[in-house]
């Protein structure tokens, strides 16, 4: 996880952390199951988590890695 995303997670309620973890587990198996942020670079994606969260991440297919770089919780 990118340090910027970690800083955004400060103060997240437990409900949000559980939802973020559950969606991350899903994305490990299906990283492309999210909306592309930039039409010309589909490796940058965003998706919802829980009822009120949005997070953005980058898919590195060669390294089999997703890097979460933004977390927003509006709940």
Q: How far apart are CA 39 and CA 17, in angstroms?
A: 29
The yes-or-no verdict on residue 21 having pLDDT over 90 is: yes
Question: What is the pairing mode between strands 41-49 and 53-60?
Answer: antiparallel
Q: What is the pLDDT of residue 60?
A: 95
Our count of domains for the chain comes to 1
CA terminus-to-terminus distance, the chain: 21
Q: How far apart are CA 29 and CA 43, in angstroms?
A: 15
Q: Which domain holds residue 7?
A: 3-73
CATH number for the domain including 14?
Answer: 3.30.2310
The yes-or-no verdict on residue 40 having pLDDT over 90 is: yes
The yes-or-no verdict on residue 1 having pLDDT over 90 is: no
The yes-or-no verdict on residue 75 having pLDDT over 80 is: no
Which contiguous run of DSSP H or E holds residue 68? Answer: strand 65-73
């Amino acid at each position: 996880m990118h340090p910027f995303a970690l800083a955004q997670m400060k103060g997240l309620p437990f409900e949000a952390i559980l939802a973020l973890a559950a969606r991350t587990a899903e994305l490990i198996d299906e990283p492309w199951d999210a909306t592309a942020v930039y039409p010309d670079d589909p490796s940058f994606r965003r998706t919802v988590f829980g009822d009120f969260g949005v997070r953005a991440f980058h898919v590195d297919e060669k390294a089999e890695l997703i890097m979460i770089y933004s977390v927003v919780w509006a709940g």
